[in-house]
Amino acid sequence: MTKPAHSAREITADVAAGRTSAVATATAALARIAAARALNAVVTTDPERTLADAAAIDDRLRAGATMPLAGVPVIVKDNIWVGGWRVTQGSRLFADFIAPRDAVAVERLRKAGAVIVGIGATSEFASKGVTTSQLFGPTRHPLDPALTPGGSSGGPAAAVAAGLAPLAIGTDAGGSSRRPPAHVGVAGFKPSYGAIPYGPGFAEPFFGLSVIAPIATDVADIALAFEAMAGTDPRDPDAAGIAQEAEDISDLRIAFSPRLGLDVAVDDVVANGLASAIARLSAAGLGIMQRDPVWPAGATEEAIMPLQHAGLAALYGDAFRKDPTVFDPDIAKQIERGLSWSGTDVAGALIASAAIANAFAAFLTEVDLLLTPTVPCVAWPYTQAGPDMIGGRAASTRAHAVFTPFVNHARLPAISLPCGRDANGLPFGLQIIARRGQDRTLLRAARQIEAQLA
């Protein structure tokens, strides 16, 4: 795993000062992507378009423009519209789809001077915890090609970790841009719901839970990308404002929950690594209490997964009935389940989702930040949907994903930071969660925590 030679901040400073150009920076990124084809993190490139876009950035700079991301290479997940590019959702149904226009987030990145250098791999419809698809095959872990970086934003996360670009943009409907960064040793940020406009783009099957999510090697680059993309837009009825950054975070009430108040398994290396990190943060002067959220009866991921299954069935059930083999087998099973759910089943899942959101909101009146593991385990073979065992227990398919989905159902901001590694050098992460709308406070606190964990 090779991190980029320069951060997004360093690149934009050098490009703006004329020490290098956007064209030279994009050319170097394209060469890195071409040399890393075996990783299968980037599934589409368009060098001619990329270099033309980079040349336009250089022209804007010569004309006196100021751009906060001038010349920064960015990889965009394969379910976010990039106008004129092939964007497939990792699905054979969309193998030849050309996005008719940019998503608002991409439009804003371009306006800020970023250069799109590639499209990052996703699992089909961003609906699986490993990044594989029938269209493109498996994305490999940058540290071990036999392993997965997780999913569904495995391509963007692996690309950043491998040094192909300093910044990537994923989506996150249940942890998809926090767990893969945790597995590959970079940072991933899920903003508050509505902080970054989501469309225009594909219909997503998650009942509005998905958000645009930046991935980078450090919090400062994530904050730079977030500020470029955030803000309301009249085309997005769900776009919402966010609070200004807190002036002082020294009085924040911080809690640590080793298992998020759930009866879930965690590998010893992760549990011990998180405990060590909390001890280091406490020694550095952060007052951290141990406290668990209290969840309503029946609040489990199994209770809310019918939303995803039903959403997939609503969007793709007709295509499934015509030819189920066109889908990834795991996605086909989800569609089949979704077709079997009744209206009462889906309503029950919506009620469970609302109960989780209310419980989380109540808990965050008592604390300002909550620290948890991002993942309960390190990466596993890409041929499996999840590890066989976690914490000495036989693991279900979604046991690796237990700490992230409730955050989405509560519409909260959360960030994953690198926190430690196992004996084989495989990373895991620390998740930091804040109240909805407190994205800037969260990022400021994350920078302080990141510095203590470095």
Which whole number is the average pLDDT over 134-148? 98
pLDDT per residue as tens digits for the range 362-392:
999 999 999 999 999 999 999 999 999 999 9
- Mean predicted lDDT score pLDDT of the chain: 96
Q: Are 137 and 121 in contact (CB under 8 A)?
A: no
pLDDT per residue as tens digits for the range 9-45:
999 999 999 999 999 999 999 999 999 999 999 999 9
Whether 333 sits among the annotated catalytic residues: the reply is no
Which whole number is the average pLDDT over 431-453? 96
Task: Look at residues 447, 414, 371 and name the one whose alpha carbon lies nearest to residue 178.
Answer: 414
Tokens of 169: 């943009």
Q: Give the residue with greater pLDDT, 157 vs 247.
A: 157
Which whole number is the average pLDDT over 3-9? 78
Q: How many CA atoms lie within 13 A of 340 on its CB side?
A: 6
Which whole number is the average pLDDT over 243-266? 88
**pTM of the predicted model, to two decimals?**
0.98
> Looking at residue 245, what is its pLDDT?
73
Q: Provide the 8-state DSSP code for 39.
A: G
Which whole number is the average pLDDT over 63-71? 98
pLDDT per residue as tens digits for the range 316-351:
999 999 999 999 999 999 999 999 999 999 999 999
> Looking at residue 5, what is its pLDDT?
57
List, in sequence order, the alpha helices (H) in 288-364. 301-322, 329-340, 343-363
> Looking at residue 251, what is its pLDDT?
86
Which whole number is the average pLDDT over 141-160? 99
Whether 77 sits among the annotated catalytic residues: the reply is yes
Task: Look at residues 412, 421, 418 and name the one whose alpha carbon lies nearest to residue 370.
Answer: 412
pLDDT per residue as tens digits for the range 268-294:
999 999 999 999 999 999 999 999 999
Query: Which structural domains are found in the chain, ordered by start?
Result: 8-229 (3.90.1300.10), 249-300+342-453 (3.90.1300.10)
> Looking at residue 246, what is its pLDDT?
64
> Looking at residue 116, what is its pLDDT?
99
Specify the pairing of strand 187-190 against strand 414-421: antiparallel
**Which member of 77, 91, 133, 353 is catalytic?**
77
In whole angstroms, what is the distance from residue 313 CA to residue 65 CA?
47
In whole angstroms, what is the distance from residue 410 CA to residue 250 CA?
25
> Looking at residue 250, what is its pLDDT?
76
CA angle 433, 375, 230 (to 5 degrees): 40
Residue 393 Cα to chain centre, angstroms: 27
**Which member of 7, 91, 153, 176 is catalytic?**
176
Burial of 231 (0-12, 13-18, 19+ CB in 10 A): middle
Rounded percentage of the chain residues whose pLDDT exceeds 90: 93
Strand partners, 427: 421
Contacts 24+ apart (CB under 8 A), 43-46: 43/78, 43/88, 43/118, 43/119, 43/120, 43/121, 43/135, 43/136, 43/155, 44/78, 44/85, 44/86, 44/87, 44/88, 44/118, 44/119, 45/117, 45/118, 45/119, 46/84, 46/85
Whether 128 sits among the annotated catalytic residues: the reply is no
**Which member of 91, 123, 127, 152 is catalytic?**
152
Say if residue 254's pLDDT is above 60: yes
Which whole number is the average pLDDT over 190-195? 98
Q: Which helix (H) or strand (E) holds 212?
A: strand 211-216
Specify the pairing of strand 167-172 against strand 73-77: parallel
